[in-house]
Structure 1
Amino acid sequence: MSRRLNVYGLCLVFGGSLLLLASQQLANPRPHPHPHPQQPQSAAPPRPTAPTPPPASSLSHNRSQLSIEEVISLQRARIQHEMRDYRFEAGSRGLEGLTPETGGTPRRSLILTTWRSGSTFVGDILNALPANYYHYEPLLNFDIVQIRGPPHAAPALRNLRQLLDCDYHGPGMEEYLHYGRAHVWLFTHNERLWEHCSDHPHLCWNATFLTKFCRLFPFQSMKVVRLRLKLAEELLGDDSEGPRILLLVRDPRGVLQSRRHRDWCPGQPDCDQPALLCADMVSDYVAAVRMAALHPRRFRVLRYEDLSLDPYKTVSSLLDFFGVDFHSSVKEFLDTHTKLDLGGVSSTFRNSKSAPFHWTKDLDFEDVWNIQSECFEAMAHWGYNMAHNQSHLMSKEFNPLGEYSVA
């Protein structure tokens, strides 16, 4: 009997040992035999293939506690990876020649327009470039206004200069970052930054981190919808390595039709009044003629409709103006964003050939006529043809687009 009890006891001990071992294995699983590659100790050269950077989680058990330098090192490796197949100009210093942290000068692209004129689409095209840092609507904290002069012109231009210089410590930046904490879409469109904001929220609004992070990037893009062109000319200055400016123009009938779908526009004179919109378009035309003559290599005009009708050819020419390569990532963006209408009013997934002309179906002729009566001069400058009556508006013979020139 005692012998049988001993056998039972041994079985219980053995079984308990197996259960304990299994529970330890579940609590502490063995590492995967092929972990993510570790980051190199020194920066990789710009052209050779760089290792795929590991996710932030592989660097720390608590991602929210990563230091500024750890995040900067991680992003530096990611940029090297993104730029691995980028075609640099012959004779250039490659990536080092374009990154401020290595004494280089980034390619800075500034889109200047007004609300609902296609800037989200153009901004996303530029942001499809590898290693692009996107300053999305940096004047958001000025509210729903158009800046044409004092009192907002000086602080607005100061903020734009500081951001283009990756300076988040200067005057006005504290207010800018304070606004961003409560209005996060100021940063969410800057996808490469926002990924780290999500993982490391203690760094996201830190001026020291933002300055260092911005200085890693070879490309910067900025879209501005609250500043008129005559003021933006100051950003060109005499520095040939400064930003290149694109004035993006859209038919005022399409602009005002699109703004009706935004709840922040009605009741705001600078947004819902055709007379103010078209006075700005006339002012922009006068400034564009002057700037095209003085800065032919650093200033360009583009109608949103022309881009939409021939996106691949227009984007190729546009990127050439900005001094950047028509990278495969940009082509992929165009392939996926210009064929079908998907998403809401802010989506950039559009049938590009029809998107600019929705107004011809959504507005009745009374609305069209009211806009045209306020915008005759602006439409003549920018080559937009008048609709004469409802039948003309709805006919296949009506072409809203005519010729224009700023030469």
Structure 2
Amino acid sequence: MQRLRSARSGAKMSRRLSFYILVGLATVFIFFLALNQHYNNYIEHRLQPIISDAELRSRHVKIQQTYTSYIRGTADDATQYEIQDVIQQQRRSIEIEMDGYAYTNGSNLDDFVMEKGGRPLRSIILTSWRSGSTFLGEVINAHPATYYHYEPLLDFGIIQVRGSPLAEMALQNIEALLKCNYTNMEHYLNFGKLHVWLFNHNSPLWKQCQMHKSICWDPRFLNSFCRLFPFQSMKVVRLRLRLVEKLLAQESLGVKVVLLVRDPRGSLQSRSHRDWCPTEPDCSDPALLCADLVSDFKAAKKFSKKYPQNFRIVRYEDLSVDPYEYVKDLYKFYGLDLHPNIKRYLDTHTKTDYGAVSSTFRNSKAAPFHWRTDLDFEEVQEIQDACSVAMQLWGYVQAVNATHQKYFNPITNFSLDHPVDVNDIF
């Protein structure tokens, strides 16, 4: 037993000695390593030229810039992957949506898709505030594979663009959007970030924006996404018709323009329910509205002869009274098949009133004529005094008194051959 204890004690001392030897060797190694590093730093310091503080700061900045660029590059790569993934999914979705579509003249989907070298069918609804453009715009937007440019001049404010200097900027923006070019549209896009209705009327785009918020306002995404769609529609309420000739004259653009006209009494009655309108003359002044209607009549008379294949007039009252027939004729003008989606939209949106003042669910036969009971005859008389020429040109009958106002038919036929007793605006 004593011998066993001695053996165990000797083994412990041996392990302890080995441990101390290893610690000692490690200490010596670290000492020589530190000495060598110090010596090398000293020699390096003696051999290098003196570096100023400015140069040191410059080197620090370069290092930081390189690091930042690396981080940004990584984020940008991730964004590009996300964009490509969304584009691929949407491309496939459109192909499925358009499968079996009844094209005319032997055309196919590729003929209308910009990314495939085709030319989309581009349409513009041009009117003024509260003239039925939301309803008609949604009728067009109900067509499958449609990319809807809702109010492209929304960021201009509550104004009417009638000439320079705003006309050039407005037309530039409209043309850029019709060509799916968001690259230099910073003001428009920044406005949209705070006013979601700029995009939320565009169903396929807004769906992706809700799922991919980081790319929603990225021009790279918008350019590519927009170019997938064979049908490009737009509604404009801030630009007068005569200025649109610059777009109509471009054969390569192939844009089709529909002028939507409404009785000024109906427009102004509807505008009175908007808190943004009464303080803005371009929105609330009957004289300005009706001067625009006269100007639009003159332009319409010219365009109907010069661009008969690309220009059409629709009165809101006619559309409302017989929506199926007018929409059918409108789609014929576009050269499009009256898709079942369109009939479905009309079936659900023209029978009964539902929702707030901006709702498109309306009894269409009654909607244009609410002004007859909502406005006092004194208000109607004020509008008629300022609008007699415009109303005569566009076929709107004047109310004679308060009783007559409530029951009469305020529309009659109009003709573009009507002589216009105003100074030539061209």
User: Mean Cα displacement is larger for which, 174-183 or 352-361?
Assistant: 174-183
Flag the 1:144–1:405 CA change in 2: closer, same or farther, 3 A.
same
Q: Please tell me whether the aligned partners of residues 104 and 335 of structure 2 are also in contact (alpha carbons under 8 angstroms).
A: no
Other structure's SS at 1:67 match:
helix
Aligned to 2:109: 95
The partner residue of 1:388 within 385, 392, 400 is: 400
Other structure's SS at 2:314 match:
strand
The partner residue of 2:175 within 161, 175, 194 is: 161
The partner residue of 2:139 within 106, 125, 138 is: 125
Deviations 1:342-394 (A, max 9, x none): 00000000000000000011011111100000000000000000000111112
* 1:107 maps onto 2:121 in alignment: yes
Other structure's SS at 1:275 match:
helix
Aligned to 1:319: 331
Larger Rg: 2
The one-letter amino acid of 2:159's match is V
* 1:73 maps onto 2:113 in alignment: no
Q: Distance in 2 between matches of 1:322 and 1:312?
A: 15
Q: Distance in 2 between matches of 1:125 and 1:244?
A: 16
Q: Distance in 2 between matches of 1:84 and 1:347?
A: 31
Q: Distance in 2 between matches of 1:175 and 1:335?
A: 38
Aligned to 1:12: none
TM-score by length of 2: 0.78
Q: Distance in 1 between matches of 2:97 and 2:140?
A: 15
Flag the 1:278–1:84 CA change in 2: closer, same or farther, 3 A.
same
Q: Distance in 2 between matches of 1:291 and 1:404?
A: 16
The one-letter amino acid of 2:85's match is E
Q: Please tell me whether the aligned partners of residues 341 and 351 of structure 1 are also in contact (alpha carbons under 8 angstroms).
A: yes
Aligned to 2:317: 305
Q: Please tell me whether the aligned partners of residues 64 and 199 of structure 1 are also in contact (alpha carbons under 8 angstroms).
A: no
Deviation at 1:90, TM superposition (A): 3.5
The partner residue of 2:213 within 161, 186, 201 is: 201
Segments of 4+ in structure 1 off by > 4 A?
63-66
Aligned to 2:165: 151
Q: Distance in 2 between matches of 1:328 and 1:66?
A: 36
Q: Please tell me whether the aligned partners of residues 155 and 188 of structure 2 are also in contact (alpha carbons under 8 angstroms).
A: yes
Deviation at 1:66, TM superposition (A): 6.1
* 1:284 maps onto 2:312 in alignment: no
Q: Distance in 2 between matches of 1:266 and 1:90?
A: 49
The one-letter amino acid of 2:241's match is L
Deviation at 1:64, TM superposition (A): 9.5
* 1:273 maps onto 2:285 in alignment: yes
Q: Please tell me whether the aligned partners of residues 252 and 278 of structure 1 are also in contact (alpha carbons under 8 angstroms).
A: yes
Q: Distance in 1 between matches of 2:106 and 2:334?
A: 18
Aligned to 2:27: none
User: Which structure 2 residue ranges, 5 or more long, are not aligned?
Assistant: 1-77, 418-426
User: Which structure 1 residue ranges, 5 or more long, are not aligned?
Assistant: 1-62
The one-letter amino acid of 1:150's match is S
Other structure's SS at 2:193 match:
helix
Aligned to 1:337: 349
Flag the 1:357–1:66 CA change in 2: closer, same or farther, 3 A.
farther
Between Structure 1 and Structure 2, how many residues are aligned? 340
Q: Which has the higher helix share?
A: 2
Q: Distance in 1 between matches of 2:409 and 2:286?
A: 21
The one-letter amino acid of 1:153's match is A
Q: Please tell me whether the aligned partners of residues 107 and 324 of structure 1 are also in contact (alpha carbons under 8 angstroms).
A: no
Q: Please tell me whether the aligned partners of residues 264 and 383 of structure 2 are also in contact (alpha carbons under 8 angstroms).
A: yes
Aligned to 1:295: 307
Deviation at 1:286, TM superposition (A): 0.5
Q: Distance in 1 between matches of 2:128 and 2:161?
A: 11
Deviations 1:270-319 (A, max 9, x none): 00000000000000000100011100110011000000000001000001
Deviation at 1:137, TM superposition (A): 0.1
Flag the 1:142–1:95 CA change in 2: closer, same or farther, 3 A.
same
Q: Distance in 2 between matches of 1:234 and 1:248?
A: 19
Q: Distance in 2 between matches of 1:355 and 1:84?
A: 36
Deviation at 1:85, TM superposition (A): 3.0
Deviations 1:241-292 (A, max 9, x none): 5210000000000000000111110110000000000000000000100011
Deviations 1:203-242 (A, max 9, x none): 1000011000000000000000000001011111140652
TM-score by length of 1: 0.82
Q: Please tell me whether the aligned partners of residues 106 and 217 of structure 1 are also in contact (alpha carbons under 8 angstroms).
A: yes
Q: Distance in 2 between matches of 1:178 and 1:228?
A: 25
* 1:401 maps onto 2:411 in alignment: yes
Flag the 1:389–1:196 CA change in 2: closer, same or farther, 3 A.
same
Other structure's SS at 1:88 match:
coil
Q: Please tell me whether the aligned partners of residues 64 and 200 of structure 1 are also in contact (alpha carbons under 8 angstroms).
A: no
* 1:186 maps onto 2:198 in alignment: yes
Aligned to 1:51: none
Identical counterparts, % of pairs: 57
The one-letter amino acid of 1:167's match is N
Other structure's SS at 2:159 match:
coil
Q: Distance in 2 between matches of 1:208 and 1:240?
A: 23
Aligned to 1:31: none
